[in-house]
Structures are given as C-alpha cells and as structure tokens.
C-alpha cells in the first residue's frame, strides 16, 4: 500500500486515535545487545522493531504515538526525528529512498514520550502513559511482539474493528503449546455471537504453570484498552514477579464482562526471545525476496 493511501485513512472521527508503546523494559534476554541500546531498536532486516509497531498503528488509522521510555532509550526518540545532516548527505543519491518510510511516519504522526522511572511491570508502564493518553480508548503495542498479516488487514486494525463492535477492552490471543503457558497471560472465556474468534473473558491468569492454566489461549502484545483501566491499575497490587501486571488489572474488568479476547488473523513473532527474533528475520527476508 502506498504511504499516501495509508495516511489518508487517518481522520479525527476514528474511535481509537492513540497508541501506547510501553518500551521501558530492560530487555535482559537480549544482553549484551541491549546493554546500551533499547530492545525496541533491534532491527529485523533494516527496520527497528518499534517502527514495525508504529506502521501497524498507522494502518489501524492511528496517528498519535505515546511512548513510555526509560533510561538508555534515547535512540527511540532520535529515530522518530529528522536527521538533517544525514538527509542532506544522501539527498539526490540512490540511498535517499531508504529513509522514505521513516520520513513519512515523522511527517504524518505525532510522537510524545514519558519516562517510567522505576520498572515496576507492564501494568505500571501503562499507568505511566496515562498522562499522554487522557480519557479515551487507546491501543497498546508491545513492539517486541512483531505481528504480520496482509497489508489490508493488519492485526491492530482487526482489533479496532472488534472494539468498535463491543466497545470494551480487547486483548489479542493465540493458542500456544500448553507447556509454554508460564510465559504468558492466559485467558478463559466463552465464544460470543457464534464467532469462534471472539470470546468474552471470564478468567485471566499471569504466567500460570501448565498444570494450573485454564486454557492454552495466551495474550500477546496487542491490546485496546478503555480509560477506566487506569483507575483499576492504580489499585492493583504487585503480582507475579513482584510487578504490577496488566493481566491482574484486566481480570477486574473481565469479572464485570468488560474484556473481549480476539483470535487474530496473522503471524506473531516473540522478538524478545532469540528464537522468535531469528524466525522473524527469516520470515521478513523471505517475504522481501
């Protein structure tokens, strides 16, 4: 899809206008690469993970990016800013086109940042983003979960459509091998409207042992959240690993029937793990051939 047609879809009548990127984590699984460089800047081919995420948000009609950063994450801000010297240097050469996609994002989106001072977990990172989101529904992308589907129907766009139908929180889920449930938030729920891809969530557990997992339906790094989640997170106690877990906060809304789980169409790569990162690199390399 050309960049012009992508951006022309963005308009102020959209139900979900902002996307939050929690990007303050330490990325310890990728040390030493992540010692001085944010995990979100690791490239799959030539593009950093977070740029894939921003492009997915744009494809869902979102033009306002809210990024939760932390110490050592300045490269993210620099990436979504112009680099006059570099652009001047390659102007008129064959290399100019390498910057076209990122330049389009910079010209057509707004990027704002806030810092999570203490890394107290994903729920806490989302709460830190409240100041950038305000009182409206918003999307959340964890950039290290790299998703791909055809250009017409990216994963976040599918989720915005589900949100527009049910007007409550939506979490993306996929089936994982039962022995891997201890890496994910896991849900249980009932199919809604006879659509096997849509479940009303009745239970959620953070990283359960396989023997305690209610199902093998795992939450991946895509959410649409309603702003009432902020009050709930404020009252959520630290859970698994001593961190404030978004799963625990969402469980409270789920018990009020306010959370939908959606089995998305497409592929997902856990680029926070070495195996997932290598798989994504091979996949995108094959796709680009």
Token pair for residue 9?
Answer: 């879809």
Q: How many residues does the chain have?
A: 289
Of 48 and 198, nearer to ligand UTP (C-beta) is 48
Residue 272: CB minimum distance to ligand UTP, A: 4
Residue 219: CB minimum distance to ligand UTP, A: 11
Token pair for residue 114?
Answer: 């806030």
For ligand UTP, the binding residue among 14, 47, 103, 120 (CB under 6 A) is 120
Task: For residue 86, count other CB atoms closer than 10 A to its CB.
Answer: 11
Of 42 and 58, nearer to ligand UTP (C-beta) is 42
Sign of CA pseudo-dihedral 227, 230, 236, 241: positive
For ligand UTP, the binding residue among 7, 26, 230, 284 (CB under 6 A) is 26
Q: Which region, judged by CB under 6 A, interacts with ligand UTP, from 17-25, 82-90, 190-198, 201-209?
A: 17-25
Binding-residue total with ligand UTP (CB under 6 A): 20
Q: Is 179 exposed, middle or buried (0-12, 13-18, 19+ CB in 10 A)?
A: exposed
For ligand UTP, the binding residue among 75, 119, 132, 192 (CB under 6 A) is 119
Sign of CA pseudo-dihedral 260, 119, 275, 34: positive
Q: How far apart are CA 271 and CA 30, in angstroms?
A: 10
Q: Binding to ligand UTP by residue 121, rule CB under 6 A?
A: yes
Q: Which residues between 122 and 141 bind ligand UTP (CB under 6 A)?
A: 122, 124-125
The binding track of 41-80 with respect to ligand UTP, each residue x by CB under 6 A or -, is ---------------------------x------------
Q: Which region, judged by CB under 6 A, interacts with ligand UTP, from 12-20, 21-29, 165-173, 227-235?
A: 21-29
Of 8 and 28, nearer to ligand UTP (C-beta) is 28
For ligand UTP, the binding residue among 16, 19, 23, 58 (CB under 6 A) is 23
- CB-CB contact of 171 with 150 (8 Å): no
Q: What are phi and psi of 154, to 5 degrees?
A: -60, 160
Token pair for residue 137?
Answer: 């529904």
For ligand UTP, the binding residue among 55, 56, 63, 144 (CB under 6 A) is 144
Q: How far is CA 198 from CA 50, 108, 121, 155, 224, in A?
A: 27, 32, 27, 14, 14
Of 185 and 198, nearer to ligand UTP (C-beta) is 185
Q: What are phi and psi of 198, to 5 degrees?
A: -120, 120
Residue (of 150, 146, 174, 154) closest to 280 by Cα position: 146
The binding track of 204-243 with respect to ligand UTP, each residue x by CB under 6 A or -, is ----------------------------------------
Which spans of this chain sit near ligand UTP (rule: CB under 6 A)? 22-29, 39, 68, 116, 119-122, 124-125, 142, 144, 272
């Amino acid at each position: 899809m050309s960049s012009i047609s992508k951006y022309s879809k963005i308009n102020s009548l959209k139900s979900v206008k902002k996307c939050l990127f929690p990007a303050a984590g330490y990325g310890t699984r990728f040390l030493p690469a992540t010692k001085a460089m944010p995990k979100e800047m690791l490239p799959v081919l030539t593009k950093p993970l977070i740029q894939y995420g921003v492009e997915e948000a744009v494809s869902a009609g979102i033009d306002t990016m809210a990024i939760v950063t932390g110490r050592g994450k300045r490269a993210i801000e620099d990436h979504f800013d112009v680099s006059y010297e570099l652009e001047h240097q390659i102007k008129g050469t064959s290399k100019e086109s390498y910057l076209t996609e990122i330049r389009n994002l910079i010209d057509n989106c707004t990027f704002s940042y806030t810092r999570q001072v203490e890394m107290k977990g994903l729920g806490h990172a989302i709460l830190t983003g409240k100041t950038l989101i305000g009182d409206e529904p918003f999307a959340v992308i964890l950039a290290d979960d790299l998703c791909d589907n055809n250009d017409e129907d990216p994963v976040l766009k599918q989720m915005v459509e589900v949100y527009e139908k049910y007007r409550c929180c939506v979490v993306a889920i996929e089936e994982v091998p039962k022995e891997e449930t201890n890496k994910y938030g896991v849900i249980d729920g009932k199919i809604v409207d006879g659509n096997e891809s849509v479940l009303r969530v009745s239970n959620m557990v953070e990283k359960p042992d396989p023997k305690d997992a209610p199902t093998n339906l795992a939450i991946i790094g895509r959410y649409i959240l309603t702003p009432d989640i902020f009050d709930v997170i404020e009252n959520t106690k630290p859970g698994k690993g001593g961190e404030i877990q978004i799963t625990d906060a969402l469980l409270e809304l789920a018990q009020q029937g306010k959370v939908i789980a959606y089995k998305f169409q497409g592929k997902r790569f856990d680029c926070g793990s070495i195996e997932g990162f290598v798989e994504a690199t091979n996949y995108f390399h094959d796709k680009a051939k």
